[in-house]
Structure 1
């Protein structure tokens, strides 16, 4: 038989996205949803990149450090869907299963305008001229098929920046020296050092002894100091240790297979230490057996493609406000030690025992902060954008922007920008100056959140409506758990006031007469606690030294448990109290005093503690501390659903019905002149407070409305337009079968997924 060469095929699209990790996946779906004919190319058999079942890194983001900072948009749709479908508990790393892969695959299959190729590697780029890519060349490994994909815009989400490199773009790799940008986290001298790659593993509790014998070629680890004094704590028998990490001296691109083999040696060596050598873990691990070992390392860093702006670590640390903001981040500046397991210590925060008040953590805590569009547009090629860990940032800034929750947001923004640029006939380089408002408004409409933009969509009919509701919750504060009060026991999040703690209080009235806190004093004698009330700009305003004081006092706390201590503050407008804003009630440190947590979380009203250098950080996982406010504050008014913000930020921004009244409850829009409405879009509460791994299997957020109907006032009565049963998604869009002409529209919430109140962040209406 004669030899046969592989087949070739050429296809043409508006947008081609190379790389199907979370950044590339969100970019492709966003571009397609915006109407661009889009092709997504992924070199693995599944989507998700580091988050997939091949690598199993848990998607992290801003919500790991900031309450109500969970990423929304496409990534939120995916994560909410996965939790609703999946039986598996989310552990930090190593526990992702194929339900996550199929959740992404399902969305890709159901996205109009989207074509995708899996198992397809990008091998080359063909240029139309010096500044424009004509096509990319891919090879489908298991089909012996060569693909040539032409497009108007290309998006490089390959991680290693393969497309940009082949197209001749300037890129950086390694660490900038401190002198270049004056970054606190930069080393004194520039080097080629990069963060390493990790290989994860997962174990299973068999309920009986499970012996393990390491192969001869496994790493031999016998020194406890390697683990316990160098930030590599084998503290969970379920596996998933991110610190099984290696980079330099190997090149993370060209020697990635050498890194993989070395990491496999170390996985087996670490498990051998845990199972057979470590006196602290041998008994704990006796019944555990290895269930899975990854063979695709999760890479943190390689090429960073130079764009029209290079983001430095000064930007997240100082919360730089960008006119072309298209996403946000909030992970800390998490720079792993080059070399990983081969270095003297592991990642800085880990080697310090994750001390949340250490000098390193104080100088590394940042955000939420904005990310500019200019950092995603290649400066050397006119039709190329980037999303993921290869965007235009310094090595130090990459420590925060590289996490997958953040890269997913950037991906959605880049895909949206590409489609809008094509629709408007604008060059990518002109988008930050000429069409940034269009991009920002499109992102907000698609469920995203931006720090410095709100809904200003002229086509949204709801913005001109009057809003009423069947009832409205009031906020009198947060009471303590009755069972703990009766028993005189401390709750799980109750601890001594070793640092200053702060509680946000939403102010709706022009006065605040009294605040009260529930304290315990077990010192045996009277104690005093300094209390202050300060105005804050938003729920992530962590400043302690720079804020003016509205009121201050010393609270006297006699010995005893669970005492409500009253403070007659008598604050009003003259004192600087502003309706529609937050104040923060701070209690200063006194280790003899416990400030008890509230029984549950009061929506939109979190707490924090002082970590040092005039800065606070989120307290534990964002509970509400006990407090009472007089008069009660009407913090959940119906009008919030058209104020343009879809989460707690500068205010609660939520309508919430009175929890004492039974469902159904309704919220209505009315206009002076009848409107023609074809589409209704709504943002519900839920899945914002914590990051992904904080949610249980088959989770459906109790706050999210489950069963509801939309009605219009037609012919003197309410006419049902549609009914929804079993919802658990946060952001929902409904197109009516026929446009309705009406001056009143209402949403009737019949049941939630568990919460006694109906609640909505935003309603939009379009013709």
Structure 2
């Protein structure tokens, strides 16, 4: 790949100046660099004693999740909710990965299919709804704390921040333990678990375990991919450094820092646009054709230099008079990475699996972002477009479970951009909400591994139907895979009717499809508020739980954006369609009895647990939404 030398100042001196060399002597060895606690000269003034700090704890869990981005959070929460004692290990002080306040990428998903969203449900939607309630001001630092709250409130889940899994301890082809360094406490944890999930993106734990992986771009021939290069190469999509600015109400001067690299936009491709520059420019990006992880610090130095060079161009070139009153309000120091290791599973998802909408018997997630392959040269190759939007999907595609566990490390699962797929497939599935669906799938699978004392491959071979049914119950949509849970007593009701209907059919509430899709209606909608749905059984059933899926308008995005967009495709508030208040009644010994009430519902998946009772009928009374004049439901379930 040829690159133009378009900068007036090179980066060599800038990069070199930022590198701090390691001091090495002729007598130094790796042993000399290991902290020896026995030599610790600790004198505790409070006790008057000397001692040795205990900084090597060993802890045991059933599932260990590495990486606290969208995929890792959903994996850990799913594992914990399904009964496994789980730990979530995150190497930063905040959760969220690329969506955190440190990087501030929009938590995108299937944002636009034929002009509408096809929003992800399950845990990731629960997170985004939680943010809409708790972070009305749309602050990224507050979003960090919303995510923290979402994780720490789970009773079966332990969170370890500022902790990096640096090494796998192996027993044959199985990970026995993860050695994890916690920088704030100077502790080297040994985390023991029967199942590990690597959602860290770069996958250091998986790599040290010996899991097979690849980097770079496959050539056309290997998977018959139309959009792959003719021959394989080492290029990986780069990382981006973002910023945001603030209108100060008066002219603001800007002087670039010493390390900035002059930017001119001379010869820049017409698709390198500056629209929305006040909230950052995603194509300030640097890739790598070799070891993108080893290059990370060098590329960070470059990106800081390029970012300030571009902002200098915006402020001082005279081409952007609208920037006169703008001043930098926040500048990122941690680039958001798109690609590095891709670990090999029993199946490698490729371009045609997506564009041909292959039907996978082990489908557990979906995607639909375009095949969006960024120019691997990034800003160092500005004559090319910043991204090649190869293919725009008209419907969502499936993602299989066989691509979410390692082919050669028996107790290792993964989710996110490091899963088993080609470079071209990654260009679509790398989007965070898609990664989150993968995370919920592997977290649920991991809990099943613990319950059944089996390994991930066996889940895929013997228990895939059970995994899919649990995901569907937990409000994950799997394309072309209706739910058919034999334990769902609602499907066995002899009568199902509603007080009023304006669209759909009340029987849709048990058809196993929990959204309107493919042009088909799968809902029931009331005529006004004060609506009721009733189910009856010929013989009394034992009932302990009722579950509903209400409407949150999945055709409209709700993730937080820097521009706080609010239009037909994006909403910056609580979905008005969501059900807010409802109550539940059961007919016991011929008499109706209220058994539950919710006055401030905040989720699409509504669950009410009951003291087990014998009943011949239930009645769901719905009285309030967050603004819609009718009530829409997609599913009713009942369980003993």
Specify which of 594, 604, 612 is matched with residue 720 of structure 1: 594
SS in 2 for 1:335: strand
1:656 — aligned with what? 525
Aligned to 1:410: 438
1:171 CA displacement = 0.8
CA 1:337–1:299: 2 relative to 1, 3 Å: same
Alignment deviations for residues 151-179 of structure 1 (CA, whole Å, 9 cap, x no partner) = 10111111112112101121100001112
Q: Residue in 1 aligned with 2:243? A: 201
In the comparison of the two structures, how many residue pairs are matched? 581
Partner of 1:761: 634
Give the Cα–Cα distance (whole angstroms) in 2 for the partners of residues 114 and 690 of structure 1: 31
**SS in structure 2 of the partner of residue 299 of structure 1:** coil
1:587 alignment counterpart: none
- Please name the residue that 1:48 is paired with: 96
C-alpha distance in 2 between matches for 1:424 and 1:732:
28
In 1, Cα distance between the equivalents of 2:113 and 2:142?
A: 27
Work out which of the residue numbers 616, 629, 632 in structure 2 matches 1:743. 616
Q: For the Cα contact (< 8 Å) 1:709–1:748, is it kept in 2? A: yes
SS at match of 2:184: helix
Among 692, 701, 723, the alignment partner of 2:575 is 701
Give the drift of 1:82: 0.5
- Are positions 1:88 and 2:137 aligned together? yes
The secondary structure found in structure 2 opposite 1:271 is helix
Question: Which structure shows the higher strand fraction?
Answer: 1
Tell me which of 303, 323, 326 is aligned to 2:361.
323
- In 2, the alpha carbon distance for the partners of 1:128 and 1:292 equals 46
Match of 1:526 in 2: none
1:106 and 2:149 equivalent?
Answer: yes
Aligned-partner Cα distance in 1 for 2:387–2:411: 39
In 1: Cα distance, 2:240 partner to 2:89 partner? 24
Alpha-carbon shift at residue 718 of structure 1 (Å) = 2.8
Q: Is the CA contact (8 Å cut-off) linking 1:325 and 1:370 kept in structure 2?
A: yes
The answer for the alignment partner of 1:72 in structure 2 is 121
Closer, same or farther: CA 341–145 of 1 in aligned 2, 3 Å:
same
Q: Which whole-Å CA distance do the structure 2 matches of 1:423 and 1:438 have between them?
A: 12
Where do residues 33-432 of structure 1 align in structure 2 (5 Å cutoff)? 33-65=81-113, 67=116, 69-89=118-138, 97-129=140-172, 131-226=173-268, 229-248=269-288, 251-279=291-319, 281=320, 283-345=321-383, 347=385, 349=387, 361=390, 363-365=391-393, 367-432=395-460
SS at match of 2:373: coil
Structure 1 residues 318 and 433, CA gap change in structure 2 (3 angstroms) = same
Give the whole-Å Cα distance in 2 for the aligned partners of 1:347 and 1:139: 41
Give the Cα–Cα distance (whole angstroms) in 1 for the partners of residues 270 and 297 of structure 2. Answer: 26
Contact 1:250 1:258 in 2 (8 A): no
- Tell me by how many angstroms 1:217 deviates: 2.1
Residue 6 of structure 1, CA deviation: 6.8
| Contact 2:234 2:290 survives alignment (8 Å) | no
CA distance in 2, matches of 1:758, 1:424: 40
Question: Equivalent residue of 1:215, what SS?
Answer: coil
- Which structure 2 residues correspond to residues 355-754 of structure 1 after superposition, within 5 A? 361=390, 363-365=391-393, 367-465=395-493, 466-474=495-503, 636-650=504-518, 651-659=520-528, 663-693=529-559, 699-736=573-610, 738-754=611-627
**Cα distance in 1, alignment partners of residues 443 and 209 from structure 2:** 20
Taking a change above 3 Å as real, the CA distance of residues 731 and 391 of structure 1, as seen in their structure-2 partners, is same
Does 750-759 or 217-226 show the bigger shift? 217-226
Whether contact under 8 Å (2:375, 2:387) holds in the other structure is: no
Q: Is the 8 A contact 1:243 1:346 kept in 2?
A: no
Helix, strand or coil for the counterpart of 2:207? helix
Shift of 1:715: 4.5
> TM-score, normalising length from structure 1?
0.73
Deviations along 1:245-274, one digit per CA (max 9) or x if unpaired, are 111267320121111111111111111111
Question: Would you say the 8 A contact 1:377–1:384 is kept in 2?
Answer: yes
Kept in 2, the 8 Å contact 1:237–1:285? The answer is: no
Query: Is this contact kept in 1: 2:267–2:382, CA < 8 A?
Result: no
Distance change (3 Å), C-alpha of 1:125 and 1:307: same
**SS class of match (2:607):** strand
**Contact 1:313–1:394, Cα closer than 8 Å, also in 2:** yes
Q: State how far apart, in whole Å, the 1-side matches of 2:133 and 2:200 are.
A: 29
The 8 Å contact of residues 293 and 340 in structure 2, kept in 1 or not, is answered as: yes
Return the offset for 1:766.
Answer: 0.9
Does the 8 Å CA contact 1:317/1:366 hold for their aligned counterparts?
Answer: no
Deviation at 1:462, TM superposition (A): 0.8
Q: Contact 1:325–1:450 (CA<8 Å) still a contact in 2? A: yes
Q: Deviations over 1:178-222 (max 9, x none)?
A: 121111111011111000000110111122222211123212012
Distance 2:429 2:572 in 1: 30
Alpha-carbon distance in structure 1 between the residues aligned to 2:455 and 2:349: 22
Structure 2 CA distance, aligned partners of 1:250 and 1:217? 25
Q: Provide closer, same or farther for how the CA distance between residues 346 and 752 of structure 1 changes in structure 2, counting only shifts above 3 A.
A: farther
Following superposition, the deviation at residue 63 of structure 1 comes to: 3.0
Pairwise CA distance, 1:237: 4.2
Q: Does the aligned pair in 2 maintain the 1:84–1:697 contact within 8 Å? A: no
Alpha-carbon shift at residue 68 of structure 1 (Å): 5.1
Contact between 1:337 and 1:345, CA under 8 Å: does it hold in 2? no
2-structure distance, mates of 1:324, 1:312 = 16
Q: What SS class does the counterpart of residue 116 from structure 1 fall into? A: strand
Contact 1:246 1:263 in 2 (8 A): yes
Equivalent residues of 2:252, 2:327 under 8 A apart = yes
Distance 1:305 1:347, change over 3 A: farther
For residues 587-641 of structure 1, what are the alpha-carbon distances to aligned partners after superposition, in whole Å with 9 as ceiling and x for unaligned? xxxxxxxxxxxxxxxxxxxxxxxxxxxxxxxxxxxxxxxxxxxxxxxxx111111
Once the two structures are TM-superposed, the CA of residue 381 in structure 1 deviates from its matched residue by: 0.8
**What secondary structure, in the 3-state scheme, does the structure 1 residue paired with 2:98 have?**
helix
Stretches of structure 1 that go unaligned for 5 or more consecutive residues are 90-95, 351-359, 475-635
RMSD: 1.8
